[in-house]
Structure 1
Amino acid sequence: MPGRRAWPLHWAEGIGSNPAATDELLIRLLDVEVGFLHSCDRPAVLDAAVAHPDPQVRSRPADTFRPKLTSDQWVRLVRAEPSPSRRVLWAEHACAWGVELPEDLYDDLLAGPSRAQAAELPRLPAHRLPGLAADADPRVRATACARWEDLAAPLRALLLADTDDAVRTAAMLAHHNSVPMPREVFAALPAPRHALEQCRLSPELEAELVRDGDAEVRRALAANPRLSAHSVAVLAEDPSDDIRAAVALRPDLNEEQRAAVRYDFDPTSMSRTLPWVEGLHGDADAMRRLAVSSHPLIRRSVARARHLPPDVVERLARDEDRTVRLFLAESCDDAPAEMLLEVWRWWDGSFTHPDRPRSHPNFPRTGLLRYVGDPGGRMRRLALDDPESTPADVARLARDPQAEVRRRAAEDSRLAPADAVRLLNDPAAHVRGIAMRNPRLPARVLAELLHDRDTACTAATNPAIPVPVLHRILAAAATAVAARR
């Protein structure tokens, strides 16, 4: 608009979130603004990002909460990183996301100055271990001890007799994962925490420690997977509630034993998936057994499985703990429609699982118009998802007394242009923001929004902006960025 102030940097921030932006345009945007890469899932754009000469651009797609990179893109990102420490960092991230690194890349990482960090990569091939166990750097030798079971007996003996104190300690702790640790060895440890949490202890030492006067000692022992059944039973009667609570979550208890442990549980507390339960997600019999556990955290962890047997799904969908039902709605592809609709009444998505349960493939898609007059605003929102809903329904809900319902109407492609303009003045900021993105806005109004500093960024996300115009405002943004550098 001639004579109106331009806001090219604000436009650049918005273009990356415009669904009408082409791959070509977004690739050009990499030289101007890269914030959009946090949510970008376009293969061609991500290919260009990991091959970009600017390391900040290359790293942005990987440095997100849920990276969208393919295995090949991860490998290319690692190879392209000039910093040895950052190269290992990206390799660690890639492994955490299930990427199998090629053999020659391990060679490259282990040959660099960050060899000690590279030696800690969890999927390092076993045939590399002899070289690490005999490495000149004691940090590398100590790291090799973490793969104790993969080391041959002669290498273990060398590490147990190593000249470096830290290496010997690491070897000693690994050795006593299977061989009971006597009292004199335990007493000589510089820090006993790892031994308490992980090592197999001699019967005499164990009997002494489970009755230690220091609650921190008993607390560390409570999670030790190598503790004897007798010592577990002693800790199950510990005077400290948090120690008993830790015992109640041990995988070696049967459900009768677990139910006998007294512990306090706050159902509103944040809970994480128990690793040992997650490791059994593919075992149908284990899921059946654990789905009836007396412990809510175990049932919640079962509900996080991607797939579950029908009888387990049916049971968890009726669980008295609503967080179990929520986790089933968020994570399990087999969650039933009725339960998803029930969960929707009180939950509409989290940071980790946005828009679930509504986006779940089993969520009801028909028969939702019956909620157009429901007392609950969240249920009225669903009415416009029904394929039989009409523009008249959109117009009705665009005037709803609740902001969350007006927001749903504001994003509907059937919204009348006049209603879209009216919602630009809605008292709720999030409704106004969604209305700015609606493609039914008149071109004149959209242009006004683009030239207003407060709305320029959001307006630039509107898919009604023609692609040639997006290229023009990107060119203006590139010029503005170049002038600032």
Structure 2
Amino acid sequence: MTSLHHPQLSGLGRNPAAPEDVLVRLAAHKAGRHGLSLRRGRLADAIAEAMLAHGDDSTAVRLHGDRISPAIRRRIAEHPVPAIRDAFANFVRETVDCGAGLPIAALEEGYGRARTALVDAPNAKLRAAVAQAWYDRPLAVQVRLLADPDPAVRAAATFHRQPGVPPEWRDRCLADPAVRANVASYVPLTSDQFAQLMRCEDERVHQAVAGNPHLTAEMVARFLDVEDPQVRVEMAQSRHVDDATRHRLYALVEAQRAAGSIKAEVALHWHSSEPQWLREAPLDERIAYLDSPFTIFRYVLATCRDLPEEAWRRLDADPELRVRRAAARRPDTPPEVLERLVRAHGDVFHVRPLLVDHPNFPRHALRTFVDEPSPEVRYVALQNPELPVAALRRLAEAAESLLRRGVARHPNVTDALLERLLSDPDPEVVDDAAANSALPSARMHGILTAAGL
């Protein structure tokens, strides 16, 4: 995060081109240490030593694992101040006690034991943390977790579909209130198991069963009169209902939403379920959903890759942006389709790869995006690493800090532009400017001198 009061120092700490002497001097300031903690890769011993010398236990928490050399690890283990010596281990233990997740490697380092030993730790919260973090655990370990005496551990062990529940354990798990809803959402169910779950009065269990991808047509039929909006949406997405039933179920949920039901609003617009079976259906069956009035079916269809050209033309013109973006990610999307989509709506920067990184995207057109009225679209122009300086100057003058931040991060930015952005009223712009590897070394030293470092 950016230091609001000293963004030049926090940004400089992240700068990949900053020389070691600059980074060592930065370690004397809290904002500099924060930036240093966000650097990628291993910290040089001299930098880690300086952080230890000037920092406290919160600094030491960030010095662990591959971030530091074995020599620095020994230095911390032998530190005369217990708070420094035990900083990372204390952080891990406190995090486990809060029930928050941590990577399995952090648990091993914090407790000084291998994951195979942590599975049998006396602390149930630690065993639950291991079950949550060790995704690729062997089946034998999974069985031990399924038999754990603590319900929170069993729940953590069954939260994800993998490594799964062995068939011989399914009856036991489906009878266990701690894990019943988890397991009911993904294991194949026998008719007896399904009947047992339907007799349960827990709403969460019914919702979980409704989302199970292995339901038979007979099981789906048992759900059609359930009034829960989430169940209705799950049934509307089932392969076992006809179009009339699907329309009726969606209409009922929409009526519930119109009447003020928050559950219906969530089920319609925030629930993440999809008719995943559609991706595996025969092509002629999938094509029929081009005319579906329900966006989710057209969206799933757009994620397929074997549709005929006419289907792609229709999906490229779909009224829903989400569908058009999904269709544009196919390997052979025409350049004009990609450009038209991005020019109209920008890109989605939290989804990789970007549409502008598609092999067919006309990269030469990016510089023309600077002239678009939407700031989100103008921002896309910055994905061109050779964007002309004149364009960068225009974007650096924009009212939107989003654009100024993009210029501050750009590899083609000039010294003069960086100097202006280092005084920007938005601390995040300043931070990004100081973190740009194009920043001259002399200017880095000037920042330190101005801060009294």
After TM superposition, the score normalised by the length of structure 1 is: 0.55
Q: Summarize the alignment of residues 308-347 of structure 1 with structure 2, pairs less than 5 Å apart.
A: 308-311=305-308, 313-327=312-326, 337-341=335-339, 342-343=341-342, 345-347=344-346
Instruction: Identify the residue that residue 374 of structure 1 maps to in structure 2.
Output: 372
* AA aligned opposite 1:15: L
Deviations 1:183-205 (CA, angstroms, capped at 9, x unpaired): xxx6xx7x3757866899xxxxx
Structure 2: gaps (5+ residues): 1-21, 74-85, 259-264
Out of 37, 42, 56, the position equivalent to 1:16 is 37
Residues 448, 114 of structure 1: alpha-carbon distance in 2 compared, 3 angstrom cutoff:
farther
Out of 85, 89, 96, the position equivalent to 1:54 is 89
Out of 410, 418, 421, the position equivalent to 2:419 is 421
How many angstroms apart in 2 are the aligned matches of 1:355 and 1:414?
A: 22
How many angstroms apart in 2 are the aligned matches of 1:128 and 1:229?
A: 27
Residues 415, 56 of structure 1: alpha-carbon distance in 2 compared, 3 angstrom cutoff:
same
Q: Is 1:129 matched with 2:169?
A: yes
Out of 406, 409, 420, the position equivalent to 2:407 is 409
How many angstroms apart in 2 are the aligned matches of 1:280 and 1:422?
A: 53
Deviation of the 1:420 alpha carbon: 0.5
Deviation of the 1:320 alpha carbon: 0.8
How many angstroms apart in 2 are the aligned matches of 1:424 and 1:373?
A: 25
Deviation of the 1:321 alpha carbon: 1.6
Residues 368, 287 of structure 1: alpha-carbon distance in 2 compared, 3 angstrom cutoff:
same
* AA aligned opposite 2:295: P
Instruction: Identify the residue that residue 294 of structure 1 maps to in structure 2.
Output: 293
Q: Summarize the alignment of residues 59-138 of structure 1 with structure 2, pairs less than 5 Å apart.
A: 78-79=115-116, 81=118, 82=121, 83-95=123-135, 99=136, 101-106=137-142, 109=145, 113-114=149-150, 117-118=153-154, 121=158, 122=161, 123-124=163-164, 126=166, 129=169, 133=172
Deviations 1:91-112 (CA, angstroms, capped at 9, x unpaired): 24544xxx3x224433654675
Deviations 1:384-424 (CA, angstroms, capped at 9, x unpaired): 44466444443454345654433322212221212201112
Instruction: Identify the residue that residue 462 of structure 1 maps to in structure 2.
Output: none
Residues 258, 397 of structure 1: alpha-carbon distance in 2 compared, 3 angstrom cutoff:
same
SS of the aligned residue for 2:305 comes to coil
Residues 347, 354 of structure 1: alpha-carbon distance in 2 compared, 3 angstrom cutoff:
farther
* AA aligned opposite 1:87: R
* AA aligned opposite 2:192: H
Deviation of the 1:289 alpha carbon: 3.9
Retained in 1: the 8 A contact 2:389–2:412?
A: yes
Residues 13, 388 of structure 1: alpha-carbon distance in 2 compared, 3 angstrom cutoff:
closer
How many angstroms apart in 1 are the aligned matches of 2:413 and 2:365?
A: 21
Structure with greater helix share of residues: 2
Structure 1: gaps (5+ residues): 38-42, 152-170, 201-222, 457-472, 474-485
Retained in 2: the 8 A contact 1:340–1:363?
A: yes
Deviation of the 1:86 alpha carbon: 2.7
Q: Is 1:175 matched with 2:196?
A: no
How many angstroms apart in 2 are the aligned matches of 1:224 and 1:84?
A: 38
SS of the aligned residue for 1:12 comes to helix
Deviation of the 1:54 alpha carbon: 2.4
How many angstroms apart in 2 are the aligned matches of 1:332 and 1:58?
A: 45
Percent identity between matched residues is 20
Deviations 1:285-341 (CA, angstroms, capped at 9, x unpaired): 3543444322123333444x4x53243554333211223234556x76776654544
Residues 56, 427 of structure 1: alpha-carbon distance in 2 compared, 3 angstrom cutoff:
closer
How many angstroms apart in 2 are the aligned matches of 1:105 and 1:395?
A: 58
Out of 345, 351, 354, the position equivalent to 1:353 is 351
Deviations 1:367-391 (CA, angstroms, capped at 9, x unpaired): 3223343344444444444466444
Retained in 1: the 8 A contact 2:181–2:209?
A: no
After TM superposition, the score normalised by the length of structure 2 is: 0.58
Residues 243, 118 of structure 1: alpha-carbon distance in 2 compared, 3 angstrom cutoff:
closer
Q: Which has the larger radius of gyration?
A: 1
Retained in 2: the 8 A contact 1:271–1:297?
A: no
Comparing 386-395 with 242-251, greater Cα deviation is found at: 242-251
Q: Is 1:252 matched with 2:240?
A: yes
Q: Summarize the alignment of residues 431-450 of structure 1 with structure 2, pairs less than 5 Å apart.
A: 431-450=429-448
Retained in 2: the 8 A contact 1:34–1:60?
A: no
* AA aligned opposite 1:349: V
Retained in 1: the 8 A contact 2:367–2:381?
A: yes
Retained in 1: the 8 A contact 2:347–2:380?
A: no
Retained in 2: the 8 A contact 1:290–1:299?
A: yes
Q: Summarize the alignment of residues 228-307 of structure 1 with structure 2, pairs less than 5 Å apart.
A: 232=224, 248-255=236-243, 257-259=245-247, 263=251, 264=254, 270-275=269-274, 277-283=275-281, 285=283, 287-303=286-302, 305=303, 307=304
How many angstroms apart in 1 are the aligned matches of 2:389 and 2:182?
A: 67
Retained in 2: the 8 A contact 1:116–1:143?
A: no
* AA aligned opposite 1:79: T
Deviation of the 1:435 alpha carbon: 1.5
Retained in 2: the 8 A contact 1:17–1:36?
A: no
* AA aligned opposite 1:309: D
Retained in 2: the 8 A contact 1:278–1:302?
A: no
Deviation of the 1:258 alpha carbon: 3.1
Comparing 401-410 with 354-363, greater Cα deviation is found at: 354-363
Retained in 1: the 8 A contact 2:316–2:324?
A: yes
